[in-house]
Amino acid sequence: MKHKFFFGTAALVAILSLAASFSPVGDKFFEISRNIEIFANVYRELNTNYVEEIDPGKLMRTGIDAMMNSLDPFTNYISEADIESYRLTTEGRYNGIGASSEKIGDYVTITELYQGFAADKAGLKVGDQIVAVDGKDAKGKDPEALNEILRGFPGTSVTLTIRRPGRSDDFKVSLVRAEVDVPNVPFSGMVGDHIGYINLSVFTQDAGRNVAEALKKLKAEDPQLKGVILDLRGNGGGLLHEAVNVCNVFIGKDMLVVSNRGKIKEQDRAFNTLMPATDPDIPLAILIDKKSASASEIVSGAMQDYDRGVLLGQRSYGKGLVQNFMEVGYNARVKVTTAKYYIPSGRCIQSVEYKNGEPVDIPDSRRTKFTTRNGRTVLDGGGVTPDISLKQPTDEPIVKALVQQHLIFDFATQYCMNRTGIDSVEKFRFTDFDAFLKFLESKNFQYETESEKTWREFKEKAAKDGYRLQSEIAAIEQNIRNAKRTTLAGYKDAILDLIEREIAGRYYYKNGKIRMTLRNDTEVTEAKKILLDQTRYNTTLGKK
C-alpha cells in the first residue's frame, strides 16, 4: 500500500509540476502546485526516514486538521469514522446505543439517555462510567473517539464494562445497536395564563413541520391562546431549509429569510418562505442564549428584522457562515465555509474575531447599524442581540464553576443512587441545600475569582520582595473564604433549581428536565409578561 501511495503522489507531483511550468511565477496555480509538491515531499520523507514508525493516516490527519485550524472554526475534515456524527447533526438520527456522554475524570460518563433505546432498555443510568468497550480499556478516551466505536450498523452488538457510583464491582452489559431518532421538539405545552411554549433543540429534518404541529396542538388545547414562546436556547443549529421552514410557521409566503454570498457569485442564493404561515399574527417571544447558533440565529434574526417577535435572553453565538460538504474520496468529506449568511435587514450575524476557537464579544461601537421593518436599529457582527437582555444565573462565576466541575451532576448521581424514583416533576422539590454544601466540602470544591488571581500574583511578588505579611495574608484569605461561602448561599435558589433539573432528567429523561426547567425559569416568566402586556410588546417591536 505504501508503494502505491508513493507512485500516486509522484504522478500527481509530476502533473502539477508540468502544469506549473507553463504558468508565470506569480500565478496562483503555480503557488498551489508548488506547495502541494512540497507537502508531498515532506510527507514522503517523514514516512521514510523518521526515527520511529509513523502511522501515515494519523500523520496526514494531523496535517489536514492543522490546515483547517488556520481558517474559521467551522471548516473541518470529516473522516469515514465521523460520518455517524454528521448524520446526528443533520438528520437527527444515528446508529448507536441511544446515549449522550461526556468525559468526566478519567472516563467517558453517560450524561443523558434517550428513552426506549438500547442503553435505556439495558438499565444503564446517567452517571455510569464506560471503563471498557468490547474488552478494550477506555481510560483516557475522549467521547468522540469512543463514539466512533459505539456507533455502528443496526443489529450489531457491543459489550460495555460499566462502573457505577455506589456499586463496588464493575459489570458488563451487551447492547444491540439500533437507529436512534432524537426528537427536535422534545417538549411543547402550556405554561399558564394562555401562553404556549415550544422547545426546539436542533434544526434536523422536519423541524419546521414539528414546530407547526406543536403550535396547532397548543391552539387546539387552548382556543384562547394569547402568545407562544419559542425556546432556541442551547440550539446549535442544523439544516438551513428547516430554519426557513420554522420561520414560515410565523411569516407568510415569499418572504426572504436569509441569503448567502460568497467568493463564487454564481453560487449566491436567496431563501424565501414557500407556504402560507401557520399563524402570522400570534404574539411571539423567542428565547436565545450564548449557545444559540447558526440556524437559531437565522430564525431569531429574521423574526427580529421583520419585527415579528420579541427576542429575550443573551447575545447569540455569532455563526453566520455557510458550510458545504465536498467528497474527497474513501467516504471522507471536507466541510468548507463557502459563503456568509445575511438576514432580511442585510446584516451578517457572523462573529469576525475568534480566540481559542470561540467568538470574541465585539463592542457595539464596532458593529454596523441596520434597521428592522419598523425602523428599529439592529447591529451586525457578533451574533443577534436580544431586544430584552436577561442575565443567566449560570453566568455567575461560582455557579459556572459548579457546572464546569460537574459537581451538580455528581451530586445528582449520589442523590439518585438508591432511589428508584421521585414524585412527578410538578410535585418534586429538592430543599436540602445543607446536604449539597456538605457534598461540596467532601469534594474540596474550589474556584478562583479574578480578584483572587490578582491576590495570588500580589502574594508571589510580595514574597519575592521579602515582605513578611503572613498574619495579614492569613486574615485576608479567611475573609475571602467567608465571602465566598456567603456568595454561594446568595445563589441558593439558582443552585437548587439546577439540582432539581438534573434529578428530574434521571427519571423523566429530557422531557422531564425541560418541564422542571420551566417551573422556575425566570426567562420564561419574563417572556410571559411581555406576551401578556400588549402595549409593552408593541412598543418593543416599534409598532405605532
Please tell me the distance from the alpha carbon of residue 430 to that of residue 158, in angstroms, as a whole number. 37
Q: Is residue 251 part of a domain?
A: yes
Q: pLDDT, tens digit, for every residue of 420-440?
A: 999 999 999 999 999 999 999
Instruction: Out of 181, 209, 233, pick the residue that ends a domain.
Output: 181
Q: How far is CA 363 from CA 123, 292, 294, 348, 357, in A?
A: 50, 19, 20, 15, 19
Q: Are residues 177 and 195 in the same domain?
A: no
Q: Is residue 330 part of a domain?
A: no
Q: Are residues 207 and 159 in the same domain?
A: no
Q: Are residues 149 and 193 in the same domain?
A: no
Q: Is residue 41 part of a domain?
A: yes
Which cell numbers in the block locate residue 531?
406576551
Sign of the alpha-carbon dihedral angle for 465, 467, 470, 475: negative
Q: Are residues 402 and 359 in the same domain?
A: no
Boundaries of domain holding 353: 187-318+341-390
Please tell me the distance from the alpha carbon of residue 523 to that of residue 287, in angstroms, as a whole number. 8
Q: Is residue 136 part of a domain?
A: yes
- What's the whole-model pTM score? 0.80
Q: Are residues 177 and 242 in the same domain?
A: no
Instruction: Out of 181, 202, 230, pick the residue that ends a domain.
Output: 181
SS (H, E, C) 102-159: EEECCEEEEEEECCCCHHHHCCCCCCCEEEEECCEECCCCCHHHHHHHHCCCCCCEEE
Q: Are residues 223 and 306 in the same domain?
A: yes
Q: Is residue 329 part of a domain?
A: no
Q: Are residues 275 and 246 in the same domain?
A: yes
Structural domains of the chain, count: 4
Specify the pLDDT at position 81. Answer: 59
**Which stretches in the chain have pLDDT values below 70?**
1-26, 80-95, 148, 352, 354-358
Q: pLDDT, tens digit, for every residue of 364-412?
A: 888 889 999 999 999 988 889 999 999 987 888 889 999 999 999 999 9
Distance between alpha carbon 60 and the CA centroid of its chain, in Å?
A: 28
**CATH for 211:** 3.90.226.10
Please tell me the distance from the alpha carbon of residue 233 to that of residue 285, in angstroms, as a whole number. 12
Q: Are residues 239 and 386 in the same domain?
A: yes
Please tell me the distance from the alpha carbon of residue 460 to that of residue 115, in angstroms, as a whole number. 53
Specify the pLDDT at position 321. Answer: 83
Specify the pLDDT at position 286. Answer: 98
Q: Are residues 107 and 199 in the same domain?
A: no
Q: Are residues 385 and 399 in the same domain?
A: no
Residue 226: CB partners within 8 Å, gap ≥ 6?
193, 194, 195, 283, 531, 532
Q: Are residues 385 and 418 in the same domain?
A: no
Q: Are residues 403 and 382 in the same domain?
A: no
Element (H, E) at 14: helix 2-21
Instruction: Out of 146, 181, 216, pick the residue that ends a domain.
Output: 181
